[in-house]
Amino acid sequence: MKHLIILAVTILCALPARAGVDDVLERHILPGLSRFAQAAERLDAAARADCRAAALREPFHAAFDAWLPVGDIRLGPSEQAALSIAFWPDPKGHGRRVLDRMIAGQDPVVHDPTAYATVSIAGRGLFALELLLFDPALSDHGADDFACALVRAVAGDLRAQAAGLETAWRVEFAPLLRNAGAPDNPVYLDEAEALRAIYTQILSSLEFTADQRIGRPLGSLDRPRSGRAEAWRSGRSLRNVLIATRGAHALATALADGPLPDSYAALARVEEAASRIVDPAFQDITDPQAWLRLEILQQRVRDLRAAIEAGIGSRLGLSAGFNSQDGD
C-alpha cells in the first residue's frame, strides 16, 4: 500500500508538467504556426496574382500578425528559422543593401526558389517585404518591374519557410517536448527541462519587447531614436508590441497549471498604456510627452513579465534559463 501511495504521488507530481507542455503545444505553438503558414500561403498567392505594393499590404499585415504570437519562440527549428523570417533588429541596414543590390543587378536568383533560399537572411522574410511594400524608394514598382518579381520571390520564400517550420515542429520537435525524459530523447532529459525551456521563452519574449521593440526607439529623453522602431515603415511598431505581448501571455496561461489573476491585471495595464500612444509607428517620440507615454508602456510590459515570473515560476519551481534568448 505504501508503494502504491508513493507511486500515485509521483504520477500526480508529474502530471502538471506533462499537461503544461501538451497545453502549450496544442493551444498555442502548433495552431499558431499553422495560422502563420496559412497566412504566408495567402500572401504568396496574392503576390502571384498582383505583386504591386498596394495589393499586398493587407495580406502582408495578416502574415505579420500571425507570426508574432509564435515569433519570439526560439526553440528547436525556430532558433534558426526566426532569423530569416524576421531579421530584426537590422541596425546597419543590411536588408536595404541586399535588396538594392539585387534590383540594381537584376539578379536572376529571384526566378529560382531553391536558390533564393540561400540568399542572405537580410534579404528574406517579413522585413524584406516591408521594405518592398512600404519604403517609398522601393514600393513604387509596376507589374513588369524587376522589383515586382523580387516581391514574388520573397513572398514565395516566406511561404516555404512557414510551411517548413510548421512541419518541423509537428513532426520533429513537438515529440521531443512531449516525451521529455524518455530514454531516446537527446534534448530534454526530464520534464522539468522542457517546462523550463518554454518558461524561458515567455520571459525572453517580454524582455525583447521591452528592451528592443520599445527600448531601441525610446533611447533617452534627450536622444530618442524613432528610426529604430520595429516595422515603423508599415506603421506596425505598437501593433507588434501588443501582439507579441499578448502572445507571451497566452503562452504563459497555457503553461500554467492554474489561474494567473495578477498577470491578467498586468496585461490590462499594458493595454491601457498602449491606448495612450498617439503614433503607432513611434515617430512622434521627439515630443517629451509622447516619449514618456512610450516609457510607461515599456514599464507595463516589464510589470507583466514580473507578474508571470511570480505566478508561474514560484508555482512550478522554475527559473529561466541562463540565456533568455536561448532555448537552453
Q: Identify the CATH homologous superfamily for domain 27-178.
A: M75 peptidase, HXXE motif (1.20.1420.20)
Regarding pTM above 0.85, the answer is yes
**pLDDT tens digit string along 136-194?**
999 999 999 999 999 999 999 999 999 999 999 999 999 999 999 999 999 999 999 99
Find out if CATH 3.30.420 is the number for domain 191-316.
no
3-state secondary structure of 169: helix
- pLDDT at residue 13, as a whole number: 36
Mean pLDDT of the chain: 92
- pLDDT at residue 19, as a whole number: 56
User: How many whole angstroms separate alpha carbon 328 and alpha carbon 308?
Assistant: 20
**pLDDT tens digit string along 270-322?**
999 999 999 999 999 999 999 999 999 999 999 999 999 999 987 777 766 54
User: How many whole angstroms separate alpha carbon 258 and alpha carbon 155?
Assistant: 40
Q: Where do the domains of the chain lie?
A: 27-178, 191-316
Beta strands in the chain (DSSP E): none
Residues 40 and 165: beta-carbon distance below 8 Å: no
Position 6 pLDDT exceeds 80: no
Report the residue count for the chain. Answer: 328
| pLDDT-derived band at 259, boundaries 50, 70, 90 | confident
- pLDDT at residue 258, as a whole number: 77
The grid coordinates listed for 136 are: 517609398
